[in-house]
Amino acid sequence: MDVFKRVLAYLKTVKTLIAAALICSILFAFFNLVAIWLSATFIESIFSPSAAAVEESSEEVAEETNIENIQNIESLKEKFNLNKYIKKSTRKLISRDSKLESLKIVCILIFVAFLFKNLFDYLKNIFIVRLNYRIVNLLRNNLYEHLQKL
């Protein structure tokens, strides 16, 4: 247990680097998810636009029936489904008058998502490397001081 406490003492000196690396990791994961989601929505909307329109109309009918059956727990789950809400929002963001305009919007969004994903991955790696070097430097300094006392 003493070894664990001594290691935690080294980590306390680099709290800001740990926090920055953690935030960059979370943002990297978020933008990775966004990039994958946009890519999947893009492929779905380009190759099967009629399926998206059919699904939207079936969602509207399902919402009307959910209002009537509000007592049922399953209908509540359907009404407040996060997946359907995100799909609907993504389609609204992407869908334009022509497929070419939709393609331009999706390409820009995917590029921006991948740009931010890679930026936060790079920053995370920089923070982790600085964290490693700082902890190793602290360990070396403490070892040197200990050897000088002997």
Selected residue with higher pLDDT from 112 and 7: 112
CA separation, residue 87 to residues 37, 58, 69, 90, 102 (Å)? 9, 14, 23, 5, 15
pLDDT at residue 52, rounded to an integer: 46
Selected residue with higher pLDDT from 47 and 61: 47
Rounded Cα distance between 66 and 12, Å, is 52
Rounded Cα distance between 47 and 143, Å, is 63
DSSP state of 98: S
Contact 96, 102 (CB under 8 A): yes
Rounded Cα distance between 132 and 124, Å, is 12
Termini Cα distance of the chain = 25
**pLDDT tens-digit map of 32-45:** 999 998 888 778 76
**pLDDT tens-digit map of 102-146:** 888 888 999 999 999 999 999 999 999 999 999 999 999 999 999
Rounded Cα distance between 79 and 70, Å, is 9
Per-state percent for the chain, helix, strand, coil, to nearest 5? 90, 0, 10
Q: Taking 60 as the threshold, does the pLDDT of residue 47 lie above it?
A: yes
Contact 45, 102 (CB under 8 A): yes
Rounded Cα distance between 98 and 75, Å, is 35
pLDDT at residue 54, rounded to an integer: 45
3-class SS at 94?
A: helix
- The encoded tokens of residue 114 equal 């991948």
